[in-house]
Amino acid sequence: MIKRRYTQTIKVGNVIIGHDAPISVQSMTNTITEDTVSTVKQIKDLESYNCDIVRVSVNSSEAASSLKDIVKQVNVPIVADIHFDHRLALASLEAGVKGLRINPGNIGDNKKVKEIASACKDAGVPIRIGVNSGSLEKGVLEKNGGDFAEAMVESGLKHIKLLEDQSFYNIKISLKSTDVLTTVRGYELLAEKVDYPFHIGITEAGTVFSGAIKSGVGLGILLYKGLGDTIRVSLSDDPIMEVIAGYNILRDLGLRRGGVQLISCPTCGRSEINIAGLAKEFEKISFKIKSDIKVAIMGCVVNGPGESMHADVGIAGGRNKSVLFSKGKIIGKYDNKEILQALINEVENITGEKINLNQN
């Protein structure tokens, strides 16, 4: 059983973050924000995969003005990602965003920090301080003897103080490095000093393969230690993959329920059916299923029946025909050409959800 760290709670729109609230999954659009149509489409796609919060980069006044239209057309809470320019933060708040990501130490004088803090207070909008090992302030790394984890903590505390000086406490914080152990140590050190909720992630983690593994390791360690209240898996891929990876990490740690838990065998010389192909085909169409369901796709009659019987739905593959199990019982034997469809039909039958075969 994972014991989560006590934190204050904040609200990003209707999503509660911190303490014992469900750990939320975030992603970020990679469209040009000024392109309202494409950005809205991508946010709606993310919504359909149950993404809890979406961050949008706001790096120009044009982007801030298209944010107004974007916010109106979507349901998920939007966080504006701002660097350096406090006017973009104020314009984003006016556009109706539910969160800001901005580092107050990077926007100039105290007057500007005060303006943002006061506008956020009026709107009930929290600020995420997002410290990144690649963009630490000058001198802080040297001061900490080249220790990135210590340097990120010092930087984070500095930004926090600027907000606290304005009596602003509606804060969450992230300390992200591309290195797993540095990231973990940074959050561990910071957890000893503040009780603000943590947004956790491994920054610029990589492709969907290497990045999901790296994030799984890093976030897995942090979450297991009870550190982390909202997560983003950062991947060089479609943002939808970030959401899918995020939910998988949480589900594998027993921190969230829902979705398909796929069990598929690695295959060996006994397999007489293309299990890898079948598992991949099924996985592609399974991502949108919301019900909590275990599906086993197994290559032969050695382990196949056992695993399949313990899953909600399962296949034990054979040379020309495969056996389909449902809730522990054999419900039919199907030609291998028809087994995927039979599996899908049974999953629909059990979950009551309609599976769209053309979804990405």
Q: Which residues bind ligand SF4 (CB under 6 A)?
A: 265-268, 270-271, 298-300, 302-304
* Cβ proximity to ligand SF4, 132 vs 267, nearer residue: 267
Shortest Å distance, C-beta 213 to ligand SF4: 22
Shortest Å distance, C-beta 265 to ligand SF4: 3
* Cβ proximity to ligand SF4, 270 vs 319, nearer residue: 270
Contacts of 110 (CB under 8 A, 6+ apart): 162, 165
* Cβ proximity to ligand SF4, 59 vs 303, nearer residue: 303
Shortest Å distance, C-beta 188 to ligand SF4: 39
* Cβ proximity to ligand SF4, 72 vs 270, nearer residue: 270
Strands 321-326 and 10-12 turn out to be unpaired
Question: Quick one: which of 270, 329, 327 has its CA closest to 301?
Answer: 270
* Cβ proximity to ligand SF4, 71 vs 297, nearer residue: 297
User: Nearest-CB residue to ligand SF4?
Assistant: 299
Question: Quick one: which of 224, 42, 222, 168 has its CA closest to 232?
Answer: 222
- Distances in Å between the Cα of 159 and the Cα atoms of 143, 260, 299 are 17, 40, 54
Shortest Å distance, C-beta 23 to ligand SF4: 33
Shortest Å distance, C-beta 256 to ligand SF4: 28
* Cβ proximity to ligand SF4, 106 vs 267, nearer residue: 267
CA 83 – CA 88 distance, rounded (Å): 9
Shortest Å distance, C-beta 307 to ligand SF4: 7
